[in-house]
């Protein structure tokens, strides 16, 4: 029996067909990835199709203000910025000053508008200092940072989010290892996601309506957790 195509091959087939010209034909986006590799930044950003998914999500809720936790080299930030209106706002948090410097250069080279504001430092500390933008709360929070801190990032993100806004967490499935017991899989990154799901279960639908979409593709088997805020 012939082996079927891999998930990565399917992504390679779909990307040129599905990527909108504003993304697929924009040389700034692959340039961000190239500069990241040259700068020694690990290639762990979202894929192009995942980036466009985030853009579609932002557009579908009419997002004007976006908060991102985990800038890396700014690849996902660029997709999110391109989904905002000209008067929009995007704040992105990054722990590593080197990553932040590379991202800042990438934003300048990509001529992003609205231009992202990078906040450098530990994400949880930065989140606790942040207030809702003067124009109103954030519409979308995207979290793609260390998984150990996920629950804290989500709670602070919800504080800054408007009712009806959405939190998206990347790497939500961890190749299925979230379903293993803590004895079988004690990884802090996996356990960080388990703690989020335990909190959602305990919340009982009072604060959020949540789901996880499993994904396969160039980034292997993983997923996005999506939380819709039900209360002010």
pLDDT (tens digit, 9 = 90+) per residue, 96-134? 999 999 999 999 999 999 999 999 999 999 999 998 887
What's the total number of domains in the chain? Answer: 1
The CA distances from residue 133 to 67, 165, 227, in Å, are 10, 14, 21
24 in any annotated domain: no
pLDDT (tens digit, 9 = 90+) per residue, 38-53? 999 999 999 999 999 9
41 in any annotated domain: no
73 in any annotated domain: yes
19 in any annotated domain: no
151 in any annotated domain: yes
Specify the CATH number for the domain of residue 93.
3.40.50.150
**pTM of the full structure:** 0.96
Beta bridge partners of 211: 226
pLDDT (tens digit, 9 = 90+) per residue, 184-225? 999 999 999 999 999 999 999 999 999 999 999 887 899 999
Q: What percent of the chain has pLDDT over 70?
A: 100
35 in any annotated domain: no
222: containing domain:
46-229
pLDDT value at residue 86: 94
């Amino acid at each position: 029996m012939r082996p079927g195509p891999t998930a990565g091959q399917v992504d390679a087939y779909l990307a040129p067909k599905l990527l909108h010209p504003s993304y697929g034909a924009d040389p700034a986006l692959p340039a961000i990835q190239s500069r990241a590799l040259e700068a020694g930044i690990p290639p762990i950003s979202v894929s192009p199709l995942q980036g466009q998914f985030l853009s579609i999500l932002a557009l579908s809720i009419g997002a004007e203000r976006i908060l991102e936790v985990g800038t890396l080299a700014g690849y996902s930030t660029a997709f999110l910025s391109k989904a905002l209106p000209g008067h929009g706002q995007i704040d992105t948090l990054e722990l590593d000053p080197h990553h932040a410097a590379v991202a800042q250069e990438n934003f300048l080279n990509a001529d992003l508008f609205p231009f992202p504001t990078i906040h450098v430092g530990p994400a949880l500390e930065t989140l606790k200092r942040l207030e809702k933008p003067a124009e109103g709360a954030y519409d979308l929070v995207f979290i793609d940072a260390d998984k150990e801190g996920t629950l804290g990032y989500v709670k602070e993100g919800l504080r800054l989010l408007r009712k009806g806004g959405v939190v998206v967490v990347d790497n939500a499935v961890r190749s299925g290892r979230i379903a293993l017991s803590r004895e079988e899989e004690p990884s802090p990154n996996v356990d960080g996601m388990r703690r989020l799901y335990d909190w959602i279960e305990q919340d009982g639908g009072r604060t959020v309506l949540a789901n996880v979409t499993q994904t396969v593709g160039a980034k292997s088997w993983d997923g996005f957790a999506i939380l819709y805020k039900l209360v002010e």
